[in-house]
Structure 1
Amino acid sequence: MSDNRTKDPGGAGDTGSAVVGNEAYGHKPFKRSRSHFADRIAADGRGDWPVEAGRYRLVVSRACPWASRALISRRLLGLEGVLSLAVVDPLQDDRSWRFTLDEGGRDPVLGIAYLSEAYEAREPGYSGGVSVPAIVDVPSGRLVTNDFQQITLDLATEWTTLHRPGAPDLYPEGLREEMDEVMEGIYRDVNNGVYRAGFASGQSEYEDAYQDVFRRLDLVSERLADRRYLVGDFITEADIRLFTTLVRFDAVYHGHFKCNRSKLAEDPVLWAYARDLYQTPGFGDTVDFDHIKQHYYRVHSGINPTGIVPVGPDLSGWLTPHHREQLGGSPFGYGTAPGPVPAGEEVPAAGRP
């Protein structure tokens, strides 16, 4: 999810750049471009940067679905003690994501007031989008990567020596081909589809995206009707990627992005599936509904020029029984649940049901 400096209406998690318009008038529809900074942090010299405990800082916005993937993965894998966390203000100004939630308005580890400073340290004179999630090298203060698609895969596969005992395998080798296929459809039609609908500048463009969103959600609902998780019998990266859109659906995408055929809570299968994950340690304890609503309704002024933030929806349903355990499977496979949320990383009461 990007800042506003690049006129990115979709809050792109990859590069912060996007093109919107009406194809009928010779313009391109909403489209995400690829990550500008795509360095890899990998083990055994395979990447651009080495895996090293304490060296890097993960910068996120709890409002952003792309950053939320990294938050969940970090929790499930038990990387809190080796990969420190910075949470930015859900609102930005013209200098990018701000550390105004921290004392003195500066990140206490990096010493910067704006995430753009880490981008500038990496590439002097950089004028592109400033997006989260971002991983920053603490010693140099330089951005390492903002490649949200790869960050979580690398946390799962390259950081294994630093995983907690009992950490789940979020990208199991034997399931990767099926996972990649499932995740591609979900990314195209759901994760990115809601943005294509929300920021469409023409009726036909909006309707095409709208149809894609609900066609894919219907297919996913059918898939999950008799299985607890998307691929295999335990939580994987695929579930993380779907969850971060589902948890925002009724709060922002249904109304704000006009994806209003039906609410998540009106699909018995998807609603139970989302609640099952929300109530699983590592998922709901990273979600801040207040940050989510503040960001979408106040930053996207082209869609919501009044800046009024809805009071609803009622969040209490997220804590109701889901009964998905009757389908079998185990959240963490042969692994175990993550421990308590580290002190200082708890979601404030305003953001919880």
Structure 2
Amino acid sequence: MTLIRPDLDTLPAYVPGRTVPGAIKLASNEVADPPAPAVLEAISRAAAGGNRYPDLGVVELTARIADLQEIAAERIAVGCGSVTLCQQLVNISCLGPDDEVLFAWRSFEAYPIVTQVGGAAVRTVGLDDGFRHDLDAMAAAVTERTRLVFVCSPNNPTGPAVHRDEFVRFLQSVPSDVLVALDEAYAEYVTDPDAVSGRPLLDAYPNLVVLRTFSKAYRMAGLRVGYALASEEVATALRKVCPPFSVSSVAQAGAIAALEHRAEILADCATVVAERDRVATGLRDLGFTVPPTQANFVWLPLGERSAAFAAHCGERKVIVRPFQPDGVRVSVSRPDENDHLLDVASSFPTPTP
């Protein structure tokens, strides 16, 4: 008899982007700039109270989010990053291997991990030819075993956003007892007017959950704060399974300060978007295929050549994120670092059209 669950032997490992001293890191979709000065000041003050437990109910931050999103505080659950909230969604919806979690593939690599950790079965549907969610195929894949569906928009790692009309059609076709989590980790970078925004749909679809994070546009990836917007029933359940004190005092203080200075912090997203479009155009000019992206990264569907491209970049002090054998995700950074990426990519042989 083993002490450890035997299925953990097959658990896929979450692979973080590598950090190599002296190299440009474009592997983790981090923002190159540090947190805003006001956020740094807030977390410094909060650190002085590190001998005390954080606010278990995350009351003040929840109230600030409620004001921002114009939603009742009872419909908000704050977690230790949106990844933890994904795990909590599996916990509240699935009882065991007879229950399924459905998501597109390739999509966020944490989805199969949190599903298996939660003891549920993984069910995937391939992306379409444009590296987008095929929501009609996903709707057709929903069965009586499906308890939870993850939809990542913009999709990590490929970049395209789901459109509002197709997402509404999807919600209308999914049974009301199946949770649908719209993961909007990169929402602040979206410029496509047809892209879905989950918040306006919540009242019409009680089985919808919207996930947001402070990790990307708010430049707080290391502090780990995310939140879910949902029905009061779902939000209450998420709070019940949240590990106690998992959102630290420092993280709560930083997120509150970030919301207080939201306008100036998010103004920097325009610079990231401009660089994103410039990098995508530059890579296409070099002969690479680059799908339209609404996030802070670009996707190179290099197939079996993905590892070779990542090695080529690594040898030249640029660290990208390969997903062998599908493609390579490249985070958008500062102009000088993006210029170096384009220079490095120019010496990698691309297929002849």
TM-based fold match above 0.5? no
Larger Rg belongs to: 2
Query: Which structure shows the higher strand fraction?
Result: 2
Which has the bigger relative contact order, CA under 8 A and spacing at least 6? 2
TM-score (norm 1): 0.29
